[in-house]
Chains A and B, each alone.
Chain A
Amino acid sequence: MKAFWKKLGRWMAGRPLAAAGAVVLLAILLLALFAPALPLQDPQSVSMRDKLLPPSAAHPMGTDDLGRDMLSRVVHGARTSLLVSVIVVACASVFGMAVGLTAGYFGGMADELMMRTTDIFLAFPGLILAMAVAVVLGPGVVPTIVALSIVWWPWYARLARSEALMHKQADFVEAARALGVPTWRILRSHILPNSLSPLIVQATLDMGYAILTTAALSFIGLGVQEPTAEWGAMLNIGRKYLLSAWWFITFPGLAIFTTVLAINLAGDGLRDYLDPRTRKRGA
């Protein structure tokens, strides 16, 4: 394990952008994790006397329409966004992987059924399906997670299926079958481990999209609601004060942008690391 980190570290040193992304991401994760312990003002403390104050020493990012400290709300917003996106990607990838690997391995009717089902989900632009589901499920953190997971699992199912198709003909799988290893163990111990790297890369990069979509849902009034500090919801209120309070939309948006950018840079690095074949494509 130590050797792995050392190798990763040396490799990262040659890729300053990926390293910077990883460092910024780590910093955001720590901020989110320890937000309640930080010397910040209460993100919920309303003070109408202090509403819409521009950035100052007391409020480095200004205050919102209810006089709450923006800095504190932006930091606490990281908790919501990261939590939602991690759970969404975990649910969607585990479910999608299970379905995709099984369908790809067995082929035939199971495969056909899965492909047609994913066709249906992929016929919608993601955000729009999430919007319809979120309207039905109502507001809140859990409905948001469910809506986004429903939108995302087909991508993992397709990816896992193509991996399973690739590996099921491999000699070692053939050998395991010949030895009479039960099917579920072949799937678990041979197909799954070999299919994992592209799925991990996809999951990492999807974290960024999950954050963007979570923010988009709450921006249009679905998903996470006031008074929970969430970046998209803050932007939704902030846009009403666009002409008078520039800081209101600037900082929550900057937080989303920085986080997603860090994830994308780190994710690209991880992809190149796990799959050297993509390196020469130079994309």
Chain B
Amino acid sequence: MARYIVKRLALLTITLLGVLTLTFFVSHVVPGDPARLAAGVRARPEQVEALRTRLGLDRPLWQQYGRYIAGVVRGDLGESIRTRRPVSADLAEYFPATVELTVFAMVLCLLIGIPFGIISAVKRESVIDHVSRVAATAAVSMPTFWLGLLLQLLFFRWLQILPATGRLGFYLSPPAHATGLYVVDSLLSGNWTALGDSFVHLILPGAALAASSIAVITRMTRSSLLEILSLDYVRTARSKGLAEKVVILKHALRNALLPSLTVIGLQVGVLLAGAVLIEVVFSWPGIGLYAVQSITFVDFQAILGVTLITAIVYSGVNLIVDVLYGVIDPRIHY
């Protein structure tokens, strides 16, 4: 097990080095003149030259590459030309909002996807199964951002029961900063008004973001549970007179959830990408909104910072999922 984890960490390091090389290539080699871009459209030629020297862009490419890698390892992701601040400082400010949104969406996925998957498998070919199949196909075919807009139209514009934008009502101040997750922070500081309000603000963006992943997890749980239910040990459990509830929830479900675990890990990537769009729709101040706001300014460093941090989080989550797999399933030896 330990050997496997070490091997995977080594592979992850290679992958991340590759990721850095790719982002370096994208930021230094592909665009015509990074100094020109970093200086902004209206900069005078001498300003561009000064910036070129300051950023080390006048040196040979391999030196720039070394500086870039060393910088990223130290947490230096360059400076945003839009906010005039280090990208790492900006990311630290925006990232918690994205974490809160994606974690909330993931919780929705698990709370809704797994039970519906179980019901669809147990009551195979029933009305619920058919409805969940149709809903799942519809959910994966729907653009996340359009669903967000429709939810805003329905619950904010017409029914007027849920807020459409932001993390808190404008009349509230954020809870005392501890984690940057408003729900957690307001719990910690006992600020019940902020807790309720930040939760209410999470509902629409969270639901829009989670929809397609709920569908995928429902179908995955269903098909893997069906496969397990046809195995001999389930028949044995049934024939010795165990209650159907025990057979399904205790004997079958545990094994059925294993393949779902991989899918859940992959859904983290789907959620992180979807968060970019949902944050734009709901003016949610996370790294996705930060990246999109940077687009208009052709703010490369900011966008690459967001790209890099999502790649790291995504790879990390998938590593954890693979390791968990081995911990949960004793049949797997590495």
Please tell me if B217 contacts chain A, counting CB pairs below 8 Å.
Answer: no
B307 at interface, CB cutoff 8 A: yes
In the complex, chain A residues 226-253 whose Cβ is within 8 Å of any chain B Cβ: 232, 235, 238-239, 242-243, 246, 249-250, 253
B292 contacts chain A at the CB level, 8 A cutoff: yes
* Any A CB within 8 A of the CB of B187: no
Contact partners of A239 in chain B: CB under 8 A: 149, 281
Q: Which residue of A lies closest to B158 (CB)?
A: A246
A245 shortest CB reach to chain B, Å: 10
Q: B124: which A residues are within 8 A, CB to CB?
A: 282
Q: In terms of DSSP, what is the predominant structure of the interface of chain A?
A: helix
Q: Count of chain A residues with Cβ under 8 Å from any Cβ of B?
A: 47
Find the A residue at minimum CB distance from B279: A220
Chain B at the A interface: mostly helix, strand, loop or mixed?
A: helix
Q: Which of A121, A216, A250, A256 has the most CB of B within 10 A?
A: A216
Cα separation A117 to B219 with both chains bound (whole Å): 31
Which of B14, B219, B226, B273 is within 8 Å of A127, CB to CB?
B273
A249-B15 contact given A257-B142, A261-B138, CB 8 Å threshold = no
A212 within 8 A of partner (CB): yes
Provide the bound-state CA to CA distance between A257 and B145, in Å.
11
Q: How far is the CB of A128 from chain B (nearest CB, A)?
A: 5
Q: Does B18 contact A (CB under 8 A)?
A: yes
Is the Cβ of A221 less than 8 Å from the Cβ of B311? no
| Residues from chain B with Cβ under 8 Å of A253 in the complex | 143, 146, 149-150
Contact yes or no, B137 A265, CB < 8 A: yes
Check B314–A123 contact: CB distance below 8 A.
yes
Contact B296 A128 (CB under 8 A): no
Number of B interface residues at 8 Å Cβ cutoff, please give it: 57
Residues from 85 to 138 in A contacting B, C-beta threshold 8 Å: 116-117, 119-121, 123-129, 131-133, 135-137
How many A-B residue pairs have C-beta atoms within 8 angstroms? Tell me.
141
A72, CB-defined interface residue at 8 Å: no
B145 CB, min distance to chain A CBs, angstroms: 5
A7 lies within 8 A of chain B by Cβ: no
Q: In the complex, what residues of A have CB within 8 A of residue B292's CB?
A: 220-221
B294 to A, closest residue via Cβ: A135
Q: Is the CB of B146 within 8 A of A124?
A: no
B50 part of interface (Cβ distance < 8 Å):
no
Question: Do residues A117 and B18 form an inter-chain contact, with CB atoms below 8 A?
Answer: yes
A-B contact pairs, 24 of them (CB 8 A): A120-B21, A124-B311, A127-B277, A128-B272, A128-B273, A128-B307, A132-B307, A135-B295, A135-B300, A136-B26, A137-B30, A215-B143, A220-B280, A222-B295, A235-B143, A246-B157, A249-B146, A253-B146, A256-B143, A260-B141, A264-B140, A268-B137, A282-B226, A283-B222
- Measured CB to CB, the residues of A under 8 A from B are 116-117, 119-121, 123-129, 131-133, 135-137, 208, 212, 215-216, 219-222, 232, 235, 238-239, 242-243, 246, 249-250, 253, 256-257, 260-261, 263-265, 268, 281-283
